[in-house]
Structure 1
Amino acid sequence: MSEHDVFLALPSKCCDSAFAGPHRSEFKALLDELRRNEVDVYCPLEEVGWNATAYVDDPVVTMKSRLDQISNSRHVVAFPQVGEHTSSGVTMLIASTFERDIPLTIVLCGEDAFASEWQLAGLCGLSKQEGGDCAIIFYTGSVAHCWNKLRNRVCAERESRKLQVGSSSDCPWGEQYQWYWDNRLNFFSKWEDPDGNQLIDCDLTGLYTVKPELISRDIAEHLGGNTVLDAFAGVGGVSIALAKAGKSVIAVEKDKKRVDMLKSNLSLYGVSDSVEVVNGDIFDVYEQYNFDSVYLDPPWGGPSYKSRDSFHMRHFKVGGVTKLRRLVGYCLNNNKDIAFTVPNNFDFPEFSTFCRKYAEGRGAGSSVSHNMSLRWGKLNDRVLFLTVFLDTTRRVAK
């Protein structure tokens, strides 16, 4: 059985002219574009001549055959039909791709996709899984528009993420932080020189809050805009990645000692000229700067966040959830793209509901259209956190 670049799973109802979602003509155009880009695509629905009945009944597309084809694909893209039976099908797809270590992108189509309850429940369950490479994209535009968002994820080869291990030593801040210490070279590849002498300027809070370097790079590559506001910059992990991705960065950090660490680390990575460092409270200064997008990683309250069954917006240590909601609302209402990193026990429906209110124009005076996607932050086959991306670049007048 030949290997395919992409396994494309489509809803059989797209063959029905009365179907409210994307029609087969759009998917045919998508297949043509993929093949023009020399992407080898296997689409079961296309294989049976776009015959919805054959798609269900033909042995070629039985579950076993689909799983065999999935196993021989480098990436799976699914456009599930939102409905009462969708959840079980998506769950099967997630399980099969996770088991086979195959990247999966799920695209939820149609005007009602953003608010559908089943995928919100599924997201919460997925966020607690210890593995997999899955992105979930909500969109209300055309298939062609969605494909522009998928192109880099599907066409690019996955980077080989070889984990690094620092020199064996006890964590200077205590054994309860040993895991973070052992992974210090994954947080900063320049943490120490070949002799084990520390080069990175970092305190304990910086150690357990900084994001792994490769994941920070992934965030930087997927966040749009030329000028990015890093709202809770800390010791600089994401600011460095943003600068190395060619963006101009405004890095805001409230703690003066950590500001000095941030500047030192920017210098070590040679990106000081691309980053404006601001010592201040983000909630006092964000309206003073011009920026295209914002990266949000508000304090979670230390490793103890893991003990919560569900992490809510009010649990961020920012001096009140109203401030955080106002900042997110400001960005949504002013066409600022957002990347928001949250714990893997985050109450996603709460955040989704808040964003949907702005999408519907409540209190904003206009209707803001945006696409949402999720990316898992994974290290050592362990899901550490999620990053929610909101693309708010399209605006529709009310």
Structure 2
Amino acid sequence: MLHEATACHVLGDMLDILAIMQDLLQCVRMFRDSKDARGIVLATKDWLEVLRKLATLLNTYNPPEMRTLCIEVLKELVVTVVPEAMQLLAPLLTHCHAAVQDGRDAAPLGPYFPRRGCSAPSMAAAAAKGAGRPLRPMVQMAVPHGQLECNRGVDPEYDLALDKFYTPYHDFIDVMFRLAVNNDSVPEVLINLSAVVGFEAVPLHSTYFPKLWLDIYKAQNIDRKYINLLTSCNYFVDYVDAILLDERAALTVDIIYEFLTVFFPKVSAHVLSEQTLTMIDNTVVSLSEQVGSLDVPKLARRLSGDLRALILVYNSPEAVPPPLLKTTLKQLQARVRAEMAKLAPKEEPAKKSNSEDGSKKECNPDEASSSSKGEDSVNIRQDAAKVIVIPRCSRALLVEKLRPKRKRSALSARWMTWSCWIRL
């Protein structure tokens, strides 16, 4: 009914139903042991069909409130019945993402996809304008590289809108994979899903994919075959290729660069084709021609990404550094030092004022001690927030990860009270 042309009026009811489902599943998970909770879900009629329908609500035609609730309900189901949910979701989502990459799914983007200079319409506004509906239920959470309106960093508001749209879904894929690792059952199709979602998220400079696989690499208790399956996946080769050629600015994100320093040597022979090596060498030639006229402060981020790409490539056995590289780097180093020297006089007055402020604070030990206590409390909170998921974490920590706060409707709150009777 939701996909009918006149079905806008059911959105509110759908949100209430999804909120009730989330509260009920959360109650079952929290107040029953894992075996009982699993049995309750598996005994529910048509729960697999519910799982499939929830996934097909994740598209650009449904409002963010619905997508968020669908993802939260899916998280609860996956945490409760990991292997069974994985058997359905991993192939379904992988097929949908692969169809986009192969050009088989050309569905237009809906009204809730982020656009520059435009805020997302509210549900009421979308209904009043008669916003179109998808032709069929579908998963539409692939990042459309060709339809992004600008590169990362050009428009911060647009970057924020894209992050807000995709982060809940990418977090769900991350949670799904970590749960599979904790249960020692990671099918190859799930590795392909992780790789294709990671490749799609390259323009967003997302850190979910590199952080996940660095955790797997560093964990001693995890089978190394998962890493071998990843490095043999075509989507992973596409991921590395996209960063080196199209999104070098992503290398300025430390976690992405660290990930590639570990994993790039494993696939460099597949990535560094003759054409790719020619493009990398052309980067050196271009840098050599422009090094004398570069606006170093303005282009610092781009230069940092280019230099990190050159480090990765020319440390591989397949690439031979051109003779021009050494002299170009020396010239660039001289330019950077000159720019730093210009900044030094401006920093001295600031240092003097900071030292004066510091001497004043030394005269008041109470303020200094309270300040240090405040800093310690911040550090403690930050350390407590660092949850290492892979080494056998609890199901509760996984499902609470990045859970958004929401206001429950009266109907949802009432159902939460009733559902607590499950404890009895």
Tell me the TM-score normalised to structure 1 length: 0.29
User: Which of 1 and 2 has greater Rg?
Assistant: 2
Structure with bigger helix share is 2
Structure with bigger strand share is 1
Bigger RCO (CA 8 Å, 6+ sep) = 2
